[in-house]
Amino acid sequence: MPFVSRLLRALAALGIAALAGCGSGDFEEPVAFEAPETLVTYEVVVEGAPSEEIAGLIEESLLLYRRQEDGAQSLAFLRRRAEGDVATIQKILRAYGYYRAEVTTKVRAVEPPAEATAAEAGEDAAAAPSDGADHAAAEAGEGAAGTDGPIESEAVAEVVITPGPAFTLARHDFALSGFEPSPSPALGPAAAYGSPVGAPAAAAAIVAAESAVVAAMREQGYGYAEARGRDAVADLERAEIEIDSSVETGRRYRLGAISFSGAPNVSEEYLRTYLRFGPGDLADRALLSAYQRQLLGTGLFRSGIVSLPETPPEGEVAPVTVQLEERPFRSVSAGARFSTDEGPGIRLGFQHRNLFGANERLDLTLDASIDEQVFNSTYRKPQYLRDGQDFVAEAEARRIEDDAFDEIGGTLTAGIQRKLSPRWTVGFGGLFEGSIIDDGETEATAYLFGIPLSAQYDGSDDLLNPTTGQRFGIELIPFGGLFDGRGVGFLSVDARASLYRRLDEDGRWVAAARTRLGAIPSGSLDDIPATRRLYSGGSGSVRGFQEDFVGPLDENNDPIGGRSVFELGAELRFPIVGDLGGVAFVEAGTVSTEIFPDFEEGMQVAAGAGVRYYSPIGPIRVDFGVPINGRDADDAFQFYISIGQAF
């Protein structure tokens, strides 16, 4: 045995030496295999798609399109790629009811134009040596050189679709099974659930109808209902298809006890204020999903799941489990802005979102610039006394040095805000304000009581960057109190509206418009403290004019405000490149000392342009505005930097 072992080792050594070329005494470097180079660039041609929608879906799905930039290693490789896409195309066509579609592919090389070939041959002939031997040597050299790299070629991959007729869904029935107790749950015709009976048998619509039936069963208490597939029979001659879908309902359940976990710092009593169901109600999963969305909408949780047990429980009662994960309740924020009329400004904020364990929110904000410092504290308690109703209290202290007036003062407000629907919010409350006001001529003290009433509608799609929808808001505040030692009373009405429309599918091109109308019915402008008069101009109204400078000015060219205001504005938002966009705007406004806007002196108009950087926290805005019919007292332009769209 030792002899055999030594013999095998010797033979192996001889074999290795032979493979390694041991006669030279050196091992050769291992062969390096380079990645294959693209030899074929190609175009894709698809013919016969029955609709633009199907053609677009094919273009998104085919490997021919998705790998087109990479090219192909050879024509044979490209043919295999095209043939592999046939199944994908047929699947797409069947999804739209085309069950007899035929798909063929063809790959052909694109020959260079004859003129180009002749020209190349002429150039080669002109460059060739006159001596025959030299000519032969040149050809040999060129042939050798030509083998150094791949020869690129062009090709066309053609896909021809013969869709045939779109099959009609002649019948669609649902078979229910597994239900307890008897009798069978009520079920309407398939068309009532969106099934395309009598129309093309689009797969997406058929599957959606099955999902709708499952949802209907779950609403009736069959919380574990599931679709169990379908049987289809096609009539090829009549181009019709009949489908029987199976739905297993399972036992009918009623909801049991509701338990919470994962939220030790949030009051369970508060979480239960959002419940729209209770023990004994039918086990409708849609109710659980709605409750889950409301809990996540509080802003207190990173995640949350409201669910029934994973497997059907014994008996007829299914308990509900609410699993939550809290998010941090405290946050700080900081921001900056700049405008040519107000100069630089900063905004610092602190927020506590769960002050006493029931989502009570405290916001502390310091907003400061060179001429204006405002400290605001807002307390909000949600679900106050009833669902969808908040108690809001606010305290504000401010110091303002403005062209219109100087003020040192503060305001206290408290009231109720109630959500009538996802779009509509109304509010009412009480207000007290005390101020020392210097309007440039006299200094006066004002003590005012008010009753704020408001209604807001927000039908837009985004708070900071709306691209579609509309907004509307109106605020009415009856005031009474003392101003400059005498009793005063007046009503302030201020209404605003804005409209947004997408001009393309992606919402990168947006047309936006806004308007404002305000009035203060009172005996005289002198009865209204300067802090409560109506003003226009600046970043949030008529860009291009200084803050509050639209309207009448006094002998020192300072704005005096008015008893009525009217504004109009329009803006076009468009993409530039990547996350950078642009805007072009025109805005106009007028302020009058009368209780109705006075258009005899015309409106002050401004126009301008700007850029938007669409950051994760919202659009960062840079605007440049110019007065069109500015006065001597108006600046030549205004420049603004802030976060969020102008409106």
pLDDT tens track for 15-38: 333 333 433 444 344 444 454 555
In this structure, what are the phi and psi dihedrals at residue 16, rounded to the nearest 5 degrees? Answer: -65, -40
Rounded-to-integer distance, Cα 319 and Cα 321, Å:
7
Arithmetic mean of pLDDT over the chain: 87
Q: Are 326 and 265 in contact (CB under 8 A)?
A: yes
pLDDT at 379: 98
pLDDT at 269 over 80: yes
pLDDT at 404: 86
pLDDT at 317: 94
Helix (H) or strand (E) holding 76: helix 75-84
- Category of 18 on φ-ψ map: left (φ > 0), alpha (ψ -120 to 50) or beta: alpha
Q: Read off the tokens for 30.
A: 């291992």
Distance, C-alpha 251 to centroid of its chain: 40
Q: Read off the tokens for 641.
A: 């930097």
Beta strand ranges found along 353-502 (DSSP E) = 361-369, 372-381, 389-401, 406-419, 424-438, 443-450, 453-458, 469-483, 486-502
DSSP H helices in 149-257: 203-219
- Give yes or no for a cis peptide into 183 (omega within 30° of 0): yes
pLDDT tens track for 84-105: 999 999 999 988 989 889 999 9
DSSP H helices in 241-284: 268-272
Distance, C-alpha 31 to centroid of its chain: 53
**How many Cβ atoms from other residues are within 10 Å of residue 135's Cβ?**
12
pLDDT at 563 over 80: yes
Q: What is the pTM of this model?
A: 0.72
pLDDT tens track for 302-335: 999 999 999 999 889 999 999 999 999 999 999 8
pLDDT at 26: 42
Q: Which of 122-131, 363-372, 501-510 shows the lowest per-residue confidence on average (mean pLDDT)?
A: 122-131
pLDDT at 291: 96
Rounded-to-integer distance, Cα 434 and Cα 516, Å:
27
pLDDT at 540 over 60: yes
pLDDT at 552: 92
pLDDT at 398: 97
Q: Are 573 and 512 in contact (CB under 8 A)?
A: yes
Q: Are 168 and 184 in contact (CB under 8 A)?
A: no
Mean local confidence (pLDDT), 54-62: 92
pLDDT tens track for 139-196: 333 333 344 555 678 999 999 999 999 999 999 999 998 887 766 788 889 999 999 9
pLDDT tens track for 438-454: 987 789 999 999 999 99
Which residues are 259's β-sheet partners? 321
pLDDT tens track for 200-247: 999 889 999 999 999 999 998 999 999 999 999 989 889 999 999 999
pLDDT at 186: 80
pLDDT at 134: 41
- Classified as helix, coil or strand, 120 is helix
Q: Are 611 and 311 in contact (CB under 8 A)?
A: no
Mean local confidence (pLDDT), 371-387: 96
pLDDT at 275 over 90: yes
Rounded-to-integer distance, Cα 91 and Cα 204, Å:
12
pLDDT at 114: 55
Quick one: pLDDT band at residue 7, thresholds 50, 70, 90? very low
Q: Which of 32-36, 409-413, 591-595 shows the lowest per-residue confidence on average (mean pLDDT)?
A: 32-36
Mean local confidence (pLDDT), 419-434: 96
Q: What percent of the chain has pLDDT over 70?
A: 88
Under 8 Å CB-to-CB from 301, ≥6 apart: which residues? 263, 295, 324, 325, 326, 327
pLDDT at 138 over 60: no
Q: Are 537 and 547 in contact (CB under 8 A)?
A: yes
pLDDT at 236: 85
pLDDT at 112: 67
Report the candidate in 535, 539, 537 with the shortest Cα–Cα distance to residue 565.
Answer: 535
Secondary structure, 3-state, 395-422: EEEEEEECCCCEEEEEEEEEEEEEECCC
Quick one: pLDDT band at residue 523, thresholds 50, 70, 90? confident
pLDDT at 118 over 90: no
pLDDT at 38: 58
